[in-house]
């Protein structure tokens, strides 16, 4: 194969990828005319690439007039990608940015039914600090990192009531906290699991829009006053959005 042919093949791959990336959750079906507005291609080149992508299962055509949508080959790749996700590794640069900004302990939690488990943690360098450790498990109804997840789980009141049993948490108070967490986008706790400790946590989401876990910052009350908590909350919301994007989430959680 000549260098010219190799260059043409590489350019064709790049153009095909541009076509695939033109689709979004909002524009999951596009006509050829709409695609021409999104990619810088001639009509003959566009149709040639559309045919090739259909032939390999990356696009499917539907309706009359004809429209295109992503095909089963894309779903297969997404499944392979999801299976290979190492959440702690993906989250590590996000957690480190939060840790560098706050100098407090930073943890990553994932839901496990009525529990939540720590899968990554960066301990504070301060002599006075709080940490839980990787593998630490606690009821999801207790603590900021638990409620940051629970607030966005699709659970009925009856299911949440089951989670509350034996936890010492009052259902009425929990409902109010979950509503507030959903409204502001983060949860807080003070002296709930450790005397004198304050925690702030925000949820993050997977590519389907489901809550995948939470990131939390822990520190003593003497350092985390109300103003500092609000600063940390803003940072967590910003960084959790970046983690959600890294996991394939492209929308706004509701």
Q: What is the DSSP track for 31-58?
A: -HHHHHHHS---HHHHHHHHHHHHHTTS
Quote the pLDDT of residue 253: 47
Return the bridge partners of 187, or none: 201
Averaged pLDDT score across all residues of the chain? 89
Give residue for tokens 């301990």: 123
Instruction: Write out pLDDT tens, residues 70-111.
Output: 998 888 777 666 554 588 889 999 999 999 999 999 999 999
- Quick one: pLDDT band at residue 254, thresholds 50, 70, 90? very low
pLDDT given at position 6: 56
Structure confidence by residue, pLDDT tens digits, 214-247? 999 999 999 999 999 999 999 999 999 999 999 8
- Of 217, 244, 186, 245, the closest CA to residue 100 belongs to 217
Nearest partner of 242 among 99, 136, 92, judged by Cα: 92
CA distance 190 to 93: 27
Whether the per-residue pLDDT at 1 is higher than 60: the answer is: no
What is the value of pTM for the model shown? 0.68
Percent over 90 (pLDDT), the chain = 64
Question: Per-residue pLDDT tens for 126-149?
Answer: 998 888 888 888 999 999 999 999
């Amino acid at each position: 194969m000549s260098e010219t042919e190799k260059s043409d093949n590489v350019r064709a791959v790049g153009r095909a990828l541009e076509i695939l990336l033109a689709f979004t959750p909002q524009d999951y079906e596009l006509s050829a005319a709409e695609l021409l507005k999104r990619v810088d291609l001639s009509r003959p080149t566009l149709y040639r690439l559309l045919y090739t992508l259909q032939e390999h299962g990356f696009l499917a055509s539907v309706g009359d007039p004809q429209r295109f949508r992503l095909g089963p080959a894309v779903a297969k790749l997404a499944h392979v990608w999801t299976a290979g996700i190492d959440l702690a590794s993906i989250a590590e640069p996000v957690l480190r940015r939060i840790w560098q900004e706050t100098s407090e302990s930073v943890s990553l939690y994932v839901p496990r039914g009525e529990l939540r488990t720590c899968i990554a943690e960066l301990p504070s360098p301060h002599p006075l600090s709080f940490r839980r450790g990787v593998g630490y498990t606690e009821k999801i109804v207790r603590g900021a990192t638990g409620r940051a997840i629970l607030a966005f789980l699709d659970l009925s009141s009856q299911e949440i009531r089951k989670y509350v049993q034996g936890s010492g948490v009052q259902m009425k108070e929990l409902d109010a906290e979950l509503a507030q967490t959903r409204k502001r986008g983060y949860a807080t706790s003070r002296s709930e699991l450790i005397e004198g400790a304050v925690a702030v946590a925000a949820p993050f989401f997977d590519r389907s829009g489901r809550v995948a876990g939470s990131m939390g910052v822990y520190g003593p009350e003497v350092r985390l006053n109300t103003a500092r908590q609000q600063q940390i909350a803003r940072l967590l919301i910003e960084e959790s959005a970046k983690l959600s994007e890294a996991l394939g989430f492209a929308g706004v959680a509701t």
